[in-house]
Amino acid sequence: MEVLETWKTVKRADLLQMYYYLRLTRALEDRITALYRQGRIVGGVYTGNGMEAISVGYASALERDDIIAPFHRDMGAFLVRGITPGEVVAQYLGKRTGPTKGKDGNVHMGDLKRGVIGFVSHLADNLPVATGVALAFRLRGESRVVVTNTGDGGTSRGDFHEAMNFAAVRKLPVVFFCNNNQYAYSTPLGLQMAVKDVVDRAKAYGMPGEIVDGNDLAAVYLAARRAIQKARAGEGPTFIECKTMRMHGHSEHDSAKYVPRELLEEWKKKDPILKAEQMLKQIGYADENTFREVGERVTKEVEAGVEFAEKSPLPEGPETLNGVFATDEEIKP
Amino acid sequence: MTTATAGREVTYLEAISQALDEEMTRDERVFLMGEDIGPYGGAFRITEGFQQKYGEWRVLDTPLSESGFVGAAIGAAMMGMRPVVEMQFADFISCAFDQITEVAAKNHYRWGAPVPLVIRAPFGGGVHGGPFHSECPEGWFFHSPGLKLVAPSTPYDAKGLLKAAIRDPNPVIYFEHKFLYRRIKAVLPSEDFIIPIGKADVKRAGSDVSVITYGAMVHLALEAAELLARDGIELEVVDLRTLIPLDKEAIYQSVRKTGKAITLHEDNKTGGIGAEVTALLAEECFDSLDGPIMRIAAPDTPVPFSTPLEEFFLPKVSDIVAAAKKLAAY
Ligand SMILES: Cc1ncc(C[n+]2csc(CCOP(=O)(O)OP(=O)(O)O)c2C)c(N)n1
Ligand SMILES: [Mg+2]
């Protein structure tokens, strides 16, 4: 189907909501990057610049009770699930008001109440965990779904393969996303895998897979919706490869000189926000005014978040000792 | 499957089986995962008959995929289930090391989500298993904050600790000793009971020398105590039962009484639990000590296969007797 035609199949309100999250994600990560340059961030900054449509798209396709196990460039998904810009900045600043209360940094955060499984640095570790979330749904006969995501590099780890295999064998309600941004840190795809497309890996597990344009919000959203619907209906897992490009360095300290300039120039034209604006205008769902208003709104929200985070207290040293073990009260049914 | 029947002796293995059965009946969130645990009943037949009783999903045969199914158990635990995972042999837990130490152990500390998970790990030597079916991997996990480790030595403790582990809100590795499976029997109470995690047990009281140990070595220490008693040396056998959190008070109490301490385990000597207990005693009980703290442990080699090699490798009753006599002379 024509790109424009696919966009027309999504409701206007849903598109505008997702467009807002694209902008919020971009604005928040740009602001965090600026704070990093000023030396105000504790630790590293990994952005999903140019890849926002993927996590906004899949997270928007879920129901409230569903679960996500996101990846380190999935800021959009955290925001869609209701983690606020203030909490995110607090997390980056090591403040007590961040989701990990200063115990962990950057995107290594989660919150079960909002259906977010905490991201673990060890790439692909959360994929088996996601299959277990799906297994719990299956065991209890709930019609809930979990979506997880990995990078192209993460698909080389054993845990990726163990998770894909187990999910397929037991037809678990899980959807595996992969944001193929063509690099894993400095390692290009050709040194990561011998298959042409990451989706080829799914065949080995008897799992259906598809490739989508990861910079096309509606395409990602619709692919997610189809896969989620299937999973919910008990028809098992799907693998979705999103072709995209990492537009910043691996982290903000990395100038990424190893990425050819022309490649970045080419992908800049395919920016997901630019693309969304073109489509929204063409269908007549929005105009420059809408875009400007959304821009003003997200800037305000991000600034309020930064203010909240900066005013928040740092944890006290002895808080280090808290929380190694859970208490009985925490698992009361 | 054996059900609790008053008056009949049950083996250590049956005690484990009973604990699983009773917990699955008590709480429908409890389910089992592992290799060949379904129709086959597990490599050691601990879950024999379970699948007929509880169905294919609650007694779930997994692919050969330790990291994958431990990860899955973590996910299910976070969603409010109570998974009990079986390692076919404790040795294969190395394949799941990352999931256990990086995900399960750190989860609650990092972002507050409890992982009420039990991993059953059939461990230990004396069964001609060789380097890949005899390991004592507890040392690896002893150094990973966020995990609890238990290692029962009797059917009573085996049952009570497994029930406590299943009800605990944290990831617990349950080290069950293969050598004890069918060798140790006891009559168990017919009513529900647990052994609290974190509580050591004095398996034999004595006034002269303390042996601090766990697992199959408890029985070795008890044998040595019998022999030493004939020579007028009274050994106190402290069974740790839980390795994390360690019952430090119980260790100190015993050593403050006897003034002499031997640590005993089947795990390799360097960096083993005996080393930690020794360090704790040096820090906290220095004034009470009347002799050097002695460590009896396996040498720093993999577990060898051939009978004379494995016999050489494993601590012996005579090692304990010799160490206790040496200490008693101080
Ligand atoms: C198991 C593991 N090894 C190494 C790293 C360090 N590391 C962090 S991100 C990264 C590259 C990841 O590449 P990819 O999976 O393609 O994701 P991307 O960052 O490109 O989105 C590496 C090597 C890690 N986090 N985990
Ligand atoms: Mg990549």
Q: Is B78 within 8 Å of A133 when comparing Cβ atoms?
A: yes
Query: Is residue A329 domain-resident?
Result: no
Could you tell me if the CB of A9 is within 6 A of ligand 1? no
Query: Is residue A51 domain-resident?
Result: yes
Task: Output the CA–CA distances (angstroms, integers) from residue A66 to A37, A131, A143, A241, A333, in the order listed.
Answer: 36, 13, 9, 21, 19
Q: Is A323 within 8 Å of B108 when comparing Cβ atoms?
A: yes
State residue A332's pLDDT score. Answer: 78
CATH architecture of B201-328: 3-Layer(aba) Sandwich (3.40)
Evaluate whether A130 touches A163 at the Cβ level (below 8 Å). Answer: yes
d(CA A146, CA A136): 11
State the distance from the centre of ligand 2 to the C-alpha of A146, rounded, in angstroms.
22
Could you tell me the pLDDT band of residue B6, with boundaries at 50, 70 and 90? low
Query: Is residue A27 domain-resident?
Result: yes
Query: Is residue A108 domain-resident?
Result: yes
Q: Report the CATH number at residue A70.
A: 3.40.50.970
Select from B79, B101, B118, B166 the residue whose CB has the most chain A CBs within 10 Å, as the one to mutate to test that interface: B79
The answer to whether A164 contacts chain B (CB < 8 Å) is: no
CATH architecture of B10-187: 3-Layer(aba) Sandwich (3.40)
Residue A247's nearest CA partner among A276, A275, A269, A267 is: A267
Q: Chain A, 292-311: which have a CB under 8 Å from a chain B CB?
A: none
State the distance from the centre of ligand 1 to the C-alpha of B219, rounded, in angstroms.
48
Query: Count of residues for chain B?
Result: 330
The answer to whether B34 contacts chain A (CB < 8 Å) is: no
From first to last of its 333 residues, chain A has per-residue pLDDT tens of 688 999 999 999 999 999 999 999 999 999 999 999 999 998 899 999 999 999 999 999 999 999 999 999 999 999 999 999 999 999 999 999 999 999 999 999 999 999 999 999 999 999 999 999 999 999 999 999 999 999 999 999 999 999 999 999 999 999 999 999 999 999 999 999 999 999 999 999 999 999 999 999 999 999 999 999 999 999 999 999 999 999 999 999 999 999 999 999 999 999 999 999 999 999 999 999 999 999 999 999 999 999 999 999 999 999 999 999 999 999 876
Task: Determine what percent of chain B is predicted with pLDDT higher than 70.
Answer: 98
Residue B158's nearest CA partner among B44, B28, B281 is: B44
Pairing status of strand B185-187 against strand B9-11: antiparallel
State residue B7's pLDDT score. Answer: 81
State residue B4's pLDDT score. Answer: 61
Q: Is B67 within 8 Å of A162 when comparing Cβ atoms?
A: yes
Where residue B197 falls (left for φ over 0; alpha for ψ -120 to 50; beta otherwise) is beta
A and B: number of Cβ contacts within 8 A: 150
- Phi and psi (nearest 5°) for B197? -70, 140
State residue B3's pLDDT score. Answer: 62
Question: What confidence tens digit (pLDDT) does each residue in B204-235 have?
Answer: 999 999 999 999 999 999 999 999 999 999 99
Residues of B in contact with A103 (CB under 8 A): 109-111
The whole domain housing A138 covers: 3-310
Q: Looking at the predicted structure, is the pLDDT value of residue B115 above 80? A: yes
Evaluate whether A55 touches A70 at the Cβ level (below 8 Å). Answer: yes
pTM here? Answer: 0.97
Query: Is residue A331 domain-resident?
Result: no
For a substitution probing ligand 1, which of A75, A185, A241, A251 has the most ligand atoms within 8 Å of its CB? Answer: A185
Q: For chain B, what is the mean pLDDT?
A: 97
Query: Is residue A24 domain-resident?
Result: yes
The three-class DSSP label of residue B33 is strand
Query: Is residue A318 domain-resident?
Result: no
State the distance from the centre of ligand 1 to the C-alpha of A36, rounded, in angstroms.
20
Could you tell me the pLDDT band of residue B1, with boundaries at 50, 70 and 90? low
Residue A132's nearest CA partner among B29, B79, B119, B72 is: B72
Could you tell me if the CB of A17 is within 6 A of ligand 1? no
Domain parsing of chain B, residue ranges: 10-187, 201-328
Query: Is residue A155 domain-resident?
Result: yes
Count of domains observed in chain A: 1
Question: What residue in A sits closest to B59 (Cα-Cα)?
Answer: A139
Query: How would you label A154-180 residue by residue, b for 16+ Cβ within 10 Å and e otherwise?
Result: bbbbebbbbbbbbbbbbebbbbbbbbb
Topology alike, domains B10-187 and B201-328: yes
Query: Count of residues for chain A?
Result: 333
Least confident of A286-300, B1-15, B49-63, B138-152: B1-15
